[in-house]
Structure formats: structure tokens, C-alpha cells
Amino acid sequence: MRRMGLIKRGLAAALCCMLCVPVIGGLPQPIIAKADTPRASDSDADLKEVRENACKELDEYYKFKESFIPEGKRAEARAAVDAQIKAIKNCNSSAIISERLLAGRATVDSYIPSDAPDSDPEPTTSNSNIMVGGNWITPVANGGQYVNVVLPIVNMGRRRVKNAVVTPQISQDPAKWPFEIETSNYTQTIDRLPGTDEGGDDMERRRELTWVLKTRKDAPGGYMPIAFDVTYENDDLSLTTVTLTTYVNVKGTTGVSSDGTASTPRVIVTGFSTSPEEVRAGETFTLTLHMQNTSRATAVQNMLFDIQAASESTDTTYVAAAFLPTAGSSTIFVDRIAAGATKDISMEMEARSDLAQKPYVVNVKMNYEDENVNAYENTASVSIPVRQEARVDISSIEVMPDSIDVGNEANVMFSVYNIGKTKLFNTSVKFISDSVSGGDTYLGNIEPGATANVDAYLSGAAATMDDGIVKIEITFEDEAGEATTIEKEMTLFVNEMYFPNDMEIDGVYGEEMIDSPGGFKIWWAIVPGILIVIGIIVFVVIRRKKKKAQELLELEEDLDDAGEEDLSDDDETETEKLSPWKKWKKRRAEKRNGL
């Protein structure tokens, strides 16, 4: 039997490889893992593919485990698997399909005896970097007793990650959470997970977390999957969520207590939905919680649910709940939930407008009674992601010049303002028009309240054939990497470059220039300019000649007046001191006087 089991196991592994099913440690691994972040919507084509992959994986998982199931139980196990496959085909979201797949795998494991050889399933991960450490040991959980569930986590990526938040998935199905719910918060944190670049082997880089859990007496026996969500920060402060799935070997459970009485009824939150699906800061939404009475024998009644969002503070003086009920009351009353039955409760809430973009915890406190009026209390919590709408504005656009010729450039300047409360990543600007080219600008990340400046040059590519509108596309990403584009407009005209022909040049001074039709000619500006310059030169020359003639006339008159004066021999000494010009004037005067 053991040899036949190994042969079947090898054939199943080979078949998994042929079907492109990932295999780790000899076991087929889940193709579908819980989504890292809630999806806004699932298209019909995507859902069809996810359903087909999930059905195929569950069928292959059963074939792989069939050799470990006793022959008398195989027909029953096959029927249970077929029922899960049928349920998967009717699921309308990838998250529910993932849950059904895990439940189907757990159903298969429940038919395998705990002493079956080589039956320990291997842990799985939805990310190739963050995974369960190689020293993982499947814990044995005995009904009604406490067990230490140790989760070793190792980062196989090159770069470190930090602020890892690890939260086990609490489920309605004891096959996925076979433990008593004794606290409202099972979350633990790891400050830093070093990567391979920091050195050290896998064992040195691993970090271990431990949960002390009490096994439920009504949980099914066998290997039960336990899923953990690991949310961590990357170097760029973006968040990534990975799902790690491990197993516990549950033994000694019967579904009832040791004295034969029914187990304690537990009411848990199996999931939630919001309407609209995407919760935005400052807007109202309806929160619907899916509740279930996990007891298979006892109904619960007189139920009071108190729904309170965790308090968030934007500064040191103001603390308030992230979500507030629009009706004013945070409590909901439900008269009865039958044994094993489910119930949906809804409340309309409003998200504060100043919330940052991240998940926020909502706590559900439950008070109820069983059929014998025994009182019980329980607390559960869900995490609701909130999106903060990105808000972007720009300054007035300066275009210099606002009209260019083909081949010339225009300078465009404006500022981009982040007026929202979320950071803008990888911001870029593009200019879209048939008449211009170039100008693409990368602005990078813009913090809330910050400004980035655009200083671009656009080249004229073709003459403007329309109203000269140039579209400006501003694109940025949010923390989840989702891109958003906003459009603005500016005006820039591009003209054809003009070159005069020979006929236009020859007709500058003729009638052709005067009578020729058409637009503006460059010679119309050059010729008048030349004429004006020539006129100015002629005017200056004539004026200077007139001024020189006037000066000579005045000088001659002065010489005549000076010659009329008598010059004696006694003045010879003084005459010698005169300049040649004055000596000439003196001799001329003497001749006139007959000397």
C-alpha cells in the first residue's frame, strides 16, 4: 500500500506539473490565494477563469490525497469534493472562491487518518518573497487543550521589508479555524524582515511569532488549514499583503463536550461587504456583517451587536472614531439565530473626511443567550480599507510666445498642486496636440500640500489647423499603484514658416510690390526703413555744412573788427606773442589802414 501510495503521489505530482499547478515540497499549492487588497470588481471573464482554475486545483488535490484516505471513506470524500466544486461554480467573487477552495482542501484532509504516512501538507504562500520558514513543524491540536502555533517567517527577497503586521484569518468554519475565540485581536507585528542582500542564511533571517490557542471540542479532526495575512511596508512606503497558509493536525474532537452536553455556542463574523464596494473618506457607506452561529446543536437569541470603529487621531488634541453611524446609534438587535445558521446585519456609516488611505478596524461586541437563557459575550473585528481621493490643481499656464512658426519653440510654465491628503507617486506631464511635439516632464512624488513646477519647451511640428488647443495630461499613481490621469488645456498657435520668392524680391521697388495681392511682405518693412535712414543722413550732413559756414562768417567778422585797431611798434613784443592766426589778422588790418 505504501509503495502504491508513493506511485500515485508521483503520478499526481507529474500531472500537476503538466497542468501548470505550482508544486512545493511534493504538494500542489493553491493557485488562488486571498486577494492582497479588495478588488473593486470582478469581470465575468476573470471570474470564469478563476472558477475553472479552482475546480481543477481541488480535483487534483483530491486525486493527490486519495491514496491516504481509507477505501471505505473514498466515495464519501469524493462526494464532498464534488459538492465543493459545485459550490465554487456558483460563486460570484474571487474572495469567496478562494474560501471555498480552502474549505474543499480541508474537507479532503479531514478524511485522512492522523497516522497516515507522509501526509503532512506543506505551508503555502501567495508571494515568492515572503514565506513560511523551512523549520516549520505541523502542530498537533488536541480537542479542549491549548496548543502553541509557531509561525516562522522568512524574507527571500533581496531587500528588507519593515512593519510587518501578521493577522490570522478567523473563519466561520471550524475546518479553517478550529480554535476557541478568546480575544478580539490576534494581530502581531514584526519590525523588520531582512532580505538576502543583508547576508545570513535563511534560518538567521527568519522571525518567529507564536499564538497560544485553545482547540475547539467540536472541530473536525485531521489537517486543518490556518491562513495568516502579512501586510508590510516596502522601501517606497507602499503596502503589500501576502497570505501564508499553514496546517494544524487536530485530534480528539467530537463536536460535543466530554460530558455529552452541547458545546458553547459561538457567534462569529464570517465576512463583510460594503456598499459601495470602495469606501472613500468623507462619504457614507453601508456596512453589512455576515454572522454565523457556529454551534450545531444550540440556537442563540436576544442578541445585541455593538459596532464601534477604532479611534483615529490626526493631531494630539483631537481623537474620534474613524467611522460614525449616520443614525446616531451603534447597536443592532437580532432576536434569534438558529444552530448553524447565518444572519446579515447592516449599518449605514460615514467615514471621516480627514482619514488617511489605509485599512481601519471595526470592532463588533456581541451579547446573546442560548436556549437555556445562559448569557454569553464575544468580540470580533473586521478591517475596512478606506481610499482618500487624490486632488490635484494647477496654476495659471504661461506660454511664451503664444504663437510660433514651425520648427521654433515655445516655453510653457505652470505649477502642479497636491491639495489632497494622499501622496502622489510617479507624477508626469505630457502635452498632446498634432501641431506640437516634446515637453514631456517627470515630476516624481508629490507630498500632500506640496508643489511641483513644470518648465517645458514645445516645438512647432505642423501648422495649427484648429483653434490651437493643446491638451495637458497629468498622470500620477496612488499607494496601491493605480494610475489616474487628469486633463487641462492651453492655447498655442503654430504658423507655417514663410520664404519670399524671386518675383517678390524683384518687385520691391516696382508696381508688382504695390499691386501684388496677398499678405504682408517683408520688403514692405525693409524699403521704408532704408529710405528713412538715407533721409536722416542727408539731413545731418546739410545741417553740419550750414553750421560750419555760419562759424566761418562770424570768424571773418571778428577778424575785421580786430584789424581796425592800431598796432604800434611798441607793441612788437606783444605781436610776437600772438598766434600765427592773429598775426595774419594784424597784418591784414595794417594793409587796410595803408601801413
> DSSP string spanning 98-163?
HHHHHHHHHHHHHTS-TT-TT-PPPPEESSSSEEE-TT--PPEEETTSEEEEEEEEEE-SSS-EEE
- Residue 25 makes CB contacts below 8 A (sequence gap 6+) with 122
Q: How far apart are CA 311 and CA 291, in angstroms?
A: 24
Span(s) in the chain for CATH 2.60.40.10: 123-259, 262-387, 392-495
Counted residue by residue, the chain has a size of: 595
Please name the helix (run of DSSP H) or strand (run of DSSP E) that holds residue 291, with its range, or none.
Answer: strand 284-293
In eight-state DSSP terms, residue 414 is: E
Q: How far apart are CA 179 and CA 248, in angstroms?
A: 11
Please name the helix (run of DSSP H) or strand (run of DSSP E) that holds residue 529, with its range, or none.
Answer: helix 523-563
Taking every pair of C-alpha atoms in the chain, what is the biggest distance, in angstroms? 170
- Residue 510 makes CB contacts below 8 A (sequence gap 6+) with none
| Alpha-carbon dihedral sign for residues 578, 582, 584, 588 | negative
Phi/psi of residue 458, nearest 5 degrees: -105, 135
Q: What is the pLDDT along the chain (595 residues), one digit of tens a residue?
A: 333 443 334 444 333 333 333 333 334 344 333 333 334 345 677 788 888 888 888 887 787 677 678 878 888 889 988 988 988 888 888 778 877 888 888 888 888 876 554 456 788 888 888 888 876 778 888 878 899 998 999 988 888 888 999 999 987 667 678 898 888 789 999 998 988 888 878 778 888 899 999 998 777 767 788 889 999 988 778 888 999 988 888 876 644 443 444 457 889 888 899 999 888 888 899 999 999 988 776 788 999 999 988 776 555 445 578 888 988 888 999 998 987 888 999 999 998 888 877 888 899 999 999 877 788 898 888 888 888 888 899 999 999 998 898 989 999 999 999 988 888 899 999 999 989 999 999 999 999 889 999 999 999 989 888 888 999 999 998 877 788 899 999 999 999 876 655 555 555 544 444 444 445 556 666 777 788 888 788 777 787 777 777 766 666 666 555 555 544 444 445 555 555 556 656 666 666 665 5
C-alpha cell at 455: 518648465
Exposed / middle / buried, residue 206 (Cβ in 10 Å: 0-12, 13-18, 19+)? buried
Distinct helix (H) and strand (E) counts, the chain? 10, 33
- From the list 104, 100, 147, 101, the residue with the least C-alpha distance to 249 is 147
C-alpha cell at 344: 446579515
Contact (CB, 8 A) for 66 and 113:
no
Which residue is associated with the grid cell 442578541?
Answer: 303
Q: What is the pTM of this model?
A: 0.37
Amino acid at 201: D
**Crossing angle of the two packed helices 523-563 and 580-592, in degrees rounded to 10:** 60
Amino acid at 418: N
Please name the helix (run of DSSP H) or strand (run of DSSP E) that holds residue 46, with its range, or none.
Answer: helix 44-65
Amino acid at 368: Y
The neighbour count for residue 298, using CB atoms within 10 Å, is: 20
Q: Which residues of 448-468 are buried (b: 16+ CB within 10 A; e: fewer)?
A: eeeebebebebbbeeebeeeb
3-state secondary structure of 69: coil
In eight-state DSSP terms, residue 436 is: E
Q: How far apart are CA 342 and CA 326, in angstroms?
A: 25
Task: Write the CA distances from 140 to 101, 149, 214, 223, 255, integer angstroms.
Answer: 23, 9, 12, 9, 18
Half-sphere exposure (CA, 13 Å, Cβ side) for 547? 6
Question: Cis peptide before 401, with omega less than 30 degrees from 0?
Answer: yes
The neighbour count for residue 573, using CB atoms within 10 Å, is: 8
Contact (CB, 8 A) for 75 and 69:
no
In eight-state DSSP terms, residue 37 is: S
Amino acid at 78: R
Fold designation for 123-259: Immunoglobulin-like (2.60.40)
Assign residue 144 a region (left: φ > 0; alpha: ψ between -120 and 50; beta: otherwise): left
In eight-state DSSP terms, residue 293 is: E
Task: Identify any residues that bridge with 214 across adjacent strands, giving them in sequence order.
Answer: 146
The neighbour count for residue 2, using CB atoms within 10 Å, is: 9
One of 3.90.660.10, 2.60.40.10, 3.40.50.300, 3.10.129.10 is the CATH number of 262-387, namely 2.60.40.10
What pLDDT does 398 receive? 92
- Residue 516 makes CB contacts below 8 A (sequence gap 6+) with 504, 507
Contact (CB, 8 A) for 34 and 50:
no
Q: How far apart are CA 295 and CA 243, in angstroms?
A: 28
What pLDDT does 509 receive? 46
Distance of CA 440 to the CA centre of its chain: 21
Contact (CB, 8 A) for 165 and 157:
no
Please name the helix (run of DSSP H) or strand (run of DSSP E) that holds residue 452, with its range, or none.
Answer: strand 451-460
Which residue is associated with the grid cell 488562488?
Answer: 32
In the chain, helix, strand, coil percent, each to 5?
A: 25, 35, 35
Beta pairing class for 398-400 and 239-251: unpaired
Task: Looking at the structure, give the CATH architecture of the domain made up of residues 392-495.
Answer: Sandwich (2.60)
